[in-house]
């Protein structure tokens, strides 16, 4: 009796999982076909959110470039990852000119002459 109840529960769950897998696989397949065909209806479709359109020759590779703050280590080098995956250490020149600023506590004090 318990196997009958388990079967009555497991069969619909298995069918639902199978349908979800097929649905997402089929949507991805149709999207790939539309992209390959250059289907312009993708731009106005409510099913897809288009944030950027790039026109480039077939086979081109588009990489997103993001500006990142790189930490400076104690040896005054910046570690930079190059597009091909190699790592470059770029030397940094630090200019430490110290200038004195006159005090604002006393109004009679004149700023320093340079």
Give mean pLDDT in consecutive 10-residue pieces for the chain, a chain of 114 residues: 84 95 95 86 83 77 69 66 81 64 59 66
Q: Is residue 40 part of a domain?
A: yes
What pLDDT, on the 0 to 100 scale, is given for residue 69?
65
Report residue 66 as tokens: 């993001």
- Phi, psi angle pair for 17, to nearest 5°: -65, -45
Q: Is residue 103 part of a domain?
A: no
What pLDDT, on the 0 to 100 scale, is given for residue 17?
97
Distance CA 49, CA 47 (A): 7
Angle at 88 between CA 84 and CA 89, to 5 degrees: 170
Question: Which residues are within 8 A (CB) of 20 and not within 5 positions of it... i.e. 6 or more apart?
Answer: none
Number of structural domains found in the chain: 1
Question: Which residues are within 8 A (CB) of 45 and not within 5 positions of it... i.e. 6 or more apart?
Answer: none
Q: Is residue 108 part of a domain?
A: no
Tabulate helix, strand, coil % of the chain (nearest 5): 35, 10, 55
Q: Is residue 39 part of a domain?
A: yes
Give the number of other Cβ atoms within 10 Å of residue 107's Cβ.
6
Point out which residues pair with 87 in neighbouring strands: 81
What pLDDT, on the 0 to 100 scale, is given for residue 29?
94
What pLDDT, on the 0 to 100 scale, is given for residue 27?
92
Q: Which domain holds residue 87?
A: 2-55+64-91
Q: Is residue 114 part of a domain?
A: no
């Amino acid at each position: 009796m318990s196997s009958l109840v388990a079967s009555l529960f497991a069969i619909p769950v298995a069918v639902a999982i199978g349908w979800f897998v097929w649905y997402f696989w089929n949507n991805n397949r149709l999207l790939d076909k539309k992209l390959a065909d250059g289907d312009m209806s993708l731009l106005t479709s409510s099913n897809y959110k288009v944030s950027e359109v790039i026109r480039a020759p077939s086979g081109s590779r588009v990489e997103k470039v993001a500006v990142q703050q790189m930490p400076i280590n104690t040896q005054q080098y910046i570690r930079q990852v190059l597009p091909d995956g190699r790592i470059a250490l770029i030397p940094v020149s630090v200019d430490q000119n110290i200038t004195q600023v006159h005090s604002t506590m006393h109004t009679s004090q004149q700023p320093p002459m340079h």
